[in-house]
Amino acid sequence: RVIRVSRQGMQSTQRPGQIWCLRDVTQQKLSDKMRDQFIDTATHELRTPLSNIKAYAETLVTGDAIDVEQQKEFCNIINSEVTRLARFVDDLLSISSMEMGSLSIDRQKVDTARLFSEVFEKVEPLMQQKQIAFIKELPEKLTEIKLDKDKIVAVLVNLLGNAAKYTPAGGHVTLRVKLDQRSLEVAVVDTGVGIAAEELPKVFDKFFRSADERVQEEVGTGLGLSLAQEIVEMHGGEISVESVLNQGSTFLVTIPLEGAT
């Protein structure tokens, strides 16, 4: 059974009075759980890299019984832990600007080919590491369009990164892009763990992470999709998901281009 979830999609099937009732109760219930989840995530995402950095830096400082090769290895570990920490801090800052209503987008003319090559540079190492076949279906003509390049790159890196993270080794991830004067449409299709029907409406919630152990064993903060949704909606677009548990997921982003200034 394929279930499709998007903000507009969900609302259009309900009568207005009913939605508000339903949403109030669920949001109240969620907020305690979300707070606990936030504290767990923040503790883990701050403490783990910090204690690794401290341990490796201390060993480097004392220089006890380590050769040049090991020094290099420790520096690499410190570097990747700093990257992880910086990513989490960036996500937190973006989420708090989003809460304060001060997250803004800056639409500029963008060479679409460059936009995608920036995305590929960031996600290809992950695909290779996990031996995932990355299939790109791009239109022949990649014209210039107007959008906030850095933010849209972040959205696509998040979707493709998730697809790679939640797809077992040997699986497939497909990026399907359609582009015309009216809109940019991007589908990210994976053959991964999928999302259970009851969890599907929550995937865009802040700090939501599936209870599925195949998700829990991956590093994550549950912030990526809620930021992605905000960025896409600030471009006047829509993001939605379809998924079948144990078969895979498809995330679809549509960004209108007509009249973009």
d(CA 162, CA 241): 13
Cα–Cα–Cα angle for 60, 70, 131, nearest 5°?
A: 125
Provide the minimum distance between the beta carbon of 233 and ligand ADP in the complex, in angstroms, as a whole number. Answer: 15
Q: What is the dihedral of CA 42, 43, 46, 52, to 10 degrees?
A: -150
Nearer to ligand ADP, 37 or 112 (CB): 37
158 belongs to the binding site for ligand ADP (CB under 6 A): yes
Considering only 149, 151, 209, 235, the residue that binds ligand ADP (CB under 6 A) is 209
Nearer to ligand ADP, 156 or 223 (CB): 223
Nearer to ligand ADP, 222 or 237 (CB): 222
Which helix (H) or strand (E) segment holds residue 49: the answer is: helix 16-62
Q: Tell me the site size for ligand ADP, rule CB under 6 A.
A: 21
Cα–Cα–Cα angle for 93, 155, 167, nearest 5°?
A: 115
Half-sphere exposure of 114 (CA within 13 A, CB side): 8
250 belongs to the binding site for ligand ADP (CB under 6 A): no
208 belongs to the binding site for ligand ADP (CB under 6 A): yes
223 belongs to the binding site for ligand ADP (CB under 6 A): yes
Q: How many residues does the chain have?
A: 261
Provide the minimum distance between the beta carbon of 129 and ligand ADP in the complex, in angstroms, as a whole number. Answer: 16
Using alpha carbons, select from 103, 214, 233, 106 the residue that is nearest to residue 169: 214
User: Which stretch in 6-14, 95-103, 136-144, 201-209 sits in contact with ligand ADP by CB under 6 A?
Assistant: 201-209
Query: Contact positions toward ligand ADP, by CB under 6 A?
Result: 158, 162-163, 166, 190, 192-195, 203, 208-210, 215, 220-225, 249
